[in-house]
Amino acid sequence: MCIEIKHKCVGGHQSAQFSNLDNLLPAAVIDKVYCPQCVEKPEFNGATMLADNGWVIEYDMELAVYLLGKHGIEKEAVTPEFIFDNRYSTWQGMSPTDMEESIRERQDIIALAKVDKAKYFATMKSWSIDRMKAFTEAGWRKAQAA
């Protein structure tokens, strides 16, 4: 089970949605989030930060190492990339705002279901494929692995 976690970026411009796999890590493992609009980003520190398409997540690595260690994960293996890529604390969806955006986009498509079911299914299928292609082309980390 994954619980939704929202973090506002340091500059207050946008919110990012996260999910933490099986709640092994608490929301507090995400120390700070910086969106592309944040002007006061610190110097990038690969030991505590992960960059993804202009966004930066700063993790509390001490907490992550401790809690994942309780589950048998070696200290040396726990990096920001390991945490993100193994879904211990990652975007909910393909990007920080994916879930909210997809809900808005789907609402228009769902309206078609009442009028033209065939067009609804075709539109939903192409929307899904086009969306994934757009995430991949934009360089989102999770889309590259998919």
Q: For the chain, give me the number of helices (H) and strands (E)? A: 5, 6
Both 18 and 82 in one domain: the answer is: yes
Both 11 and 58 in one domain: the answer is: yes
Both 80 and 111 in one domain: the answer is: no
Residue 47 to residue 102: CA distance in whole angstroms: 32
- In this predicted structure, what is the pLDDT of residue 30? 98
Quote the domain boundaries for residue 134. 98-145
Query: Cβ distance 103 to 93 under 8 Å?
Result: no
Give pLDDT < 70 ranges for the chain. Answer: 1-4, 146
- In this predicted structure, what is the pLDDT of residue 40? 87
Both 16 and 68 in one domain: the answer is: yes
DSSP state of 61: H
- In this predicted structure, what is the pLDDT of residue 3? 66
Query: Cβ distance 63 to 16 under 8 Å?
Result: no
- In this predicted structure, what is the pLDDT of residue 25? 95
